[in-house]
Each structure stands twice: as C-alpha cells, then as structure tokens.
C-alpha cells in the first residue's frame, strides 16, 4: 500500500518538477509549476472518467490495468462487486429453494408482515383459505378470513401456541387447524393444516362409543329388570314363568354376546395388516359351510337356498374374514326374506377376477338407505333387525373385510322384490387350483325340502 501511495506522491512531484523545469527554460518557472500541477489534475480526471464509465458498464470482466492508485481502486471495486454478485446469487438460490419447498408442502404457509398484511403465501394456503395468490398479497389477513374464532385468536398472542380450528372459508366441509408463529419484528408465520379427516374420525369415534353404549344398554337394562323380578318374586313364580324368564335372560345375554363378538371381529379386521401374500382360502368349502349354517338359521321358515360354485376357484386372503363375509351376507338374506323365499349364492370367475353374489327375493332395501348400509349400527328397520338377532354390524364387517382384500361390494335392491349383494375380488388375489375342473363352473344346487 505504501508503495502505491508513495509512487503517487512521486508522480505528483514529477509533474510539478517537470512543469517548473520547463518554465525555468522559458523564464516562467511559476507558470511552469502551475502547468505541471494542472497536467496532474487532468491525468486524475481522465482516470476518474474511465473508472466512472467502467462502473456504469457493470463489468463482469476484471478491469484493464489502470495506472497507480486508480488501478488499485478499480481492482478493489471489482472484487467487491464480484463478492456481492456471488452473495446475491446464493441468496436467490436459497430463496427459490425455500419457495419451492413451501409450495410443495401440503400444508398452507402464509408470511404475515406488519398489521397482519400478507407478504407471501404458498399454493396450499391460497387453496385452503380461499385466497387469491397475487391479488391478496399486501391485504390484511383479518379482512380476508372473517371467522370470529380466527379473528379472536389473531388478537391473542398468548394463545398462539394453542392454535385454533375453523371451517375453511372456501368450503364449510373442510376443517382447518391454524397456528401462528411470531418471528422477527412484528412478523408472523401462519401455518394451516387440513384436519378434516381427523375431525371426521373424532366425530365417528364419539358416535361409535355412543352407539355401542346404547346398543349394550338396552339388553343390559332388560336383563337387570328380569333379574330384579327373579330376586323379588322368584319364589312366587310358577315353573313355566321361571322357564320363560330364563329363556328371555338367555336371549338378551346372547344378543350382548353377538354385539361384543361383532365388535371384536371389526377391531380385529381393522388391526390386521394386509400382507399381500396370504393363505390360500378354499372358498367353495367356506361357502358350503355357510350354506349349512344358513339352512339351520332358516329352520322352519324353509327358504330355498341354491348355490352355484366354481369348485376350482380359491382366494389368497384371511379365511376368518372371508368366512365372515359369506356368513353375514347369507345370514342377512335369510333374516330379511320371508319364509319360503329363494336365496341364491354364486361363486364364479369373470375375466381374471372372482365374484361372490348373494341374491334373495325378500324385503329389499329403499334406494335412500343403500349408501348407508355399511355404516356401523345402521339399520333400515331397527325393530326388524333386533327381532331377527341383528347387531347392525354385519355389513360393516363385510365392508372392512372386503377392503382388506382390495375387493368391492356392489348392492342392487328394490323394495318388495329382493336384493343382490355382489363382492368383486381383484385378480391379484384370485387363485385357481390345478384341478381339471378349474375352468368349468361346477353347478351345485342344494335345496331344502319343502
Ligand atoms: P343387521 O345386523 O341389522 O342385519 P347389517 O349391517 O348386516 O345389520 O345390515 C344393515 C341393514 O341392512 C339391516 O338392518 C337391514 O335393514 C339391511 N339389509 C341387509 N341385508 C339385507 C337383505 N338381504 N335384504 C334386506 N335388507 C337387508
């Protein structure tokens, strides 16, 4: 550094001395000195102009070597500029990265500046809160989201950590969980999450607990009533009356047991993980056993039960669940078909998939009830269901078991004409035995004697 500056001083002295000496030759040493100093100033001005032009041109290349201290300044400025450019390039890349990541997250993110004005928002936030991505930037969030709970929350920084739940301003059916995180000076980060599913599950759980309690309370109250009668008047009752009371107690206890068994079955299916490769289930045998059970359930009501079964068609799956599907569908057909009615079970392959259908010519189901059939404890006619020993859980079990096997349930029914329940099993779980009869559907028709 000292070298450059001392050279610069020598240059100034050189110009002054040169001018003075030249002036001396012409007998005007003072004028010569002034001319020398003017020359030095002109040289500096020239270099300043060159630097100014070079700066204006926003150079990306290093400067052409200028002389003396000007060269130093130029190099210095160039290095600083290069560093600054590098820094802003890194910042831009970082910002782009942050924007792309925030845009990709399914949760909504809004940056709020002073007075709750929107500085930036990602796509999800705009979708969830019904905001316009560009137009609403700069507007206050309090004016855009007018839910009273949210407005109240916005004004209470001490509650920011708790968060708040509101319905989406865009769609009432969408439930949002919102949290504000303060940062910097007066800035806040608004995080929005769609919790509709969780909310619905929570509501379902509450409903379910209420339903189970209700379902169990009814038979329990009846059992308690009968027991009180037994305790208070047991000695006064005739043998016949006692028999009747015992039978009623047994019926109610059996009803409670059926509910608990079905609940356990449901929770077992829900807890089971679909492993992909399950056991080979002999569906023809499962159907044959279920037909036997249906026959004994039918008893004196003498339904005509027919089965058309492809004897070589097996499934890869959970036997207990599949048994439950067949027996629930057949049991319902028997229970909701008047005495003497016809029930047909078919087990067949079509294309590469397999189908189980249970058809009856019984009560049928009103169209408005069809979408709700597989809900837990849903019944078209509660009294009828209870009277026939129903728990209201049969079709919920069927649905869950079918979901487990990636299968679908199709219901077709008309009041007074009958119902058709068909399960469509995907080709991925269909298993044909090596049996020669594999392709030929073996027709087995079984009938109950009239
Ligand atoms: P439940 O134990 O009451 O039979 P499900 O879940 O098995 O419960 O069936 C739900 C409702 O669907 C039944 O209450 C009944 O009203 C109706 N249902 C089911 N299967 C049939 C059928 N084959 N015919 C007419 N109605 C049926």
Question: So what's the pLDDT on residue 434?
Answer: 65
Any ligand 1 atom below 6 A from CB of 329: no
Rounded to the nearest 10 degrees, what angle do helices 319-335 and 394-404 cross at?
150
Q: What are phi and psi of 256, to 5 degrees?
A: -65, -40
Among 362, 385, 413, residue to substitute to test ligand 1 (most atoms within 8 Å of Cβ): 385
Any ligand 1 atom below 6 A from CB of 365: yes
Question: So what's the pLDDT on residue 441?
Answer: 43
- The DSSP bridge partners found for residue 259 are none
Q: CA 261 → CA 104, 213, 236, 255, distances in Å?
A: 46, 15, 36, 10
Any ligand 1 atom below 6 A from CB of 357: no
Task: Give start-end residues of each CATH 3.30.565.10 domain in the chain.
Answer: 280-447
- How do beta strands 342-350 and 353-360 pair? antiparallel
Any ligand 1 atom below 6 A from CB of 333: yes
Question: So what's the pLDDT on residue 71?
Answer: 85
Closest atom of ligand 1 relative to the 328 alpha carbon: 7
Any ligand 1 atom below 6 A from CB of 390: yes
Distance 411 CA to ligand 1 centre (A): 11
Distance 308 CA to ligand 1 centre (A): 23
Question: So what's the pLDDT on residue 199?
Answer: 92
- pLDDT average per 10 residues of sequence, the chain (450 residues): 80 93 93 94 91 82 75 87 92 88 86 92 91 90 94 94 94 94 90 94 89 90 92 88 91 92 91 73 96 94 95 94 96 95 96 96 94 93 85 95 95 95 96 59 40
What would the two tokens of residue 188 be? Answer: 């806040």
Closest atom of ligand 1 relative to the 418 alpha carbon: 24
DSSP annotation string for 225-285: HHHHHHHHHGGGS-HHHHHHHHHHHHHHHHHHHHHHHHHHHHHHHHH----SS-EEE-HHH
Any ligand 1 atom below 6 A from CB of 306: no
Dist. CA 359–CA 181, nearest whole Å: 59
Dist. CA 431–CA 283, nearest whole Å: 10
Query: Which CATH architecture fits 105-194?
Result: 2-Layer Sandwich (3.30)
From 2.60.40.10, 3.40.640.10, 3.40.50.410, 3.30.565.10, which CATH number describes the 280-447 domain?
A: 3.30.565.10
Question: So what's the pLDDT on residue 260?
Answer: 93
Among 336, 344, 359, 417, residue to substitute to test ligand 1 (most atoms within 8 Å of Cβ): 336
Question: So what's the pLDDT on residue 2?
Answer: 57
Question: So what's the pLDDT on residue 139?
Answer: 95
Assess contact for 405 and 416: CB atoms under 8 A: no
Task: Give start-end residues of each CATH 3.30.450.20 domain in the chain.
Answer: 105-194
Distance 327 CA to ligand 1 centre (A): 13
From 1.10.287.130, 3.40.50.1980, 1.20.120.1780, 3.90.700.10, which CATH number describes the 199-271 domain?
A: 1.10.287.130
Distance 392 CA to ligand 1 centre (A): 7
Q: How far is CA 158 from the centre of its chain?
A: 30
Spatial strand order of the sheet with 164-167 comes to: 118-121, 108-112, 187-194, 175-183, 164-167
What would the two tokens of residue 16 be? Answer: 């002054």
Task: Give start-end residues of each CATH 1.10.287.130 domain in the chain.
Answer: 199-271
């Amino acid at each position: 550094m000292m070298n450059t500056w001392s050279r610069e001083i020598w240059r100034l002295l050189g110009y002054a001395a040169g001018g003075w000496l030249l002036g001396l030759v012409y007998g005007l040493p003072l004028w010569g000195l002034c001319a020398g100093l003017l020359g030095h100033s002109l040289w500096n001005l020239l270099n300043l102009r060159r630097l100014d032009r070079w700066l204006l041109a926003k150079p990306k290349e290093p400067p052409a070597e200028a002389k003396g201290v000007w060269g130093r300044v130029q190099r210095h400025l160039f290095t600083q500029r290069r560093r600054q450019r590098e820094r802003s390039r890194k910042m831009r890349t970082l910002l782009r990265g942050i924007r792309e990541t925030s845009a990709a997250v399914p949760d909504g993110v809004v940056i709020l500046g002073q007075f709750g004005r929107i500085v930036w928002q990602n796509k999800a936030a705009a979708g969830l809160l019904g905001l316009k991505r560009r137009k609403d930037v700069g507007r206050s969030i309090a004016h855009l989201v007018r839910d009273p709970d949210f407005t109240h929350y916005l004004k209470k920084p001490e509650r920011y950590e708790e968060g708040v739940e509101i319905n989406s301003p865009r769609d009432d059916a969408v439930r949002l969980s919102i949290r504000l995180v303060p940062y910097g000076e007066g800035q806040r980060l608004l995080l929005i999450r769609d919790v509709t599913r969780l909310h619905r599950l929570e509501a379902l759980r509450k409903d379910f607990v209420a339903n189970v309690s209700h379902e169990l309370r009814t038979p329990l109250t009846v059992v308690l009533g009968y027991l009180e009668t037994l305790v208070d008047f047991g000695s006064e009752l005739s043998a016949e009356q006692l028999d009747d009371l015992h039978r009623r107690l047994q019926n109610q206890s059996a009803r409670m047991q059926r509910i608990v068994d079905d609940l356990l079955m449901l929770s077992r299916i829900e807890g089971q993980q679909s492993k992909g490769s399950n056991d080979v289930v002999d569906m023809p045998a499962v159907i044959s056993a279920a037909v036997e059970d249906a026959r004994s359930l039918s008893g004196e009501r003498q339904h005509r039960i027919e089965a058309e079964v492809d004897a070589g068609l097996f499934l890869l799956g959970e036997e207990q669940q599949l048994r439950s599907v067949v027996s629930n569908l057949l049991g319902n057909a028997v229970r909701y078909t008047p005495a003497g009615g016809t029930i047909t079970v078919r087990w067949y392959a079509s294309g590469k998939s397999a189908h189980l259908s249970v058809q009856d010519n019984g009560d049928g189901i009103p169209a408005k009830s069809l979408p709700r059939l597989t809900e837990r404890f849903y019944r078209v006619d509660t009294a009828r269901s209870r009277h026939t020993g129903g728990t209201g859980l049969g079709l919920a079990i069927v649905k869950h078991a079918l979901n487990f096997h990636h299968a679908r349930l199709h219901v077709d029914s008309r009041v007074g004409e009958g119902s058709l329940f068909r399960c469509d099993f995907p080709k991925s779980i269909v298993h044909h035995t090596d049996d020669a009869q594999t392709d030929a559907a073996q027709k087995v028709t079984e009938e109950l004697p009239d």
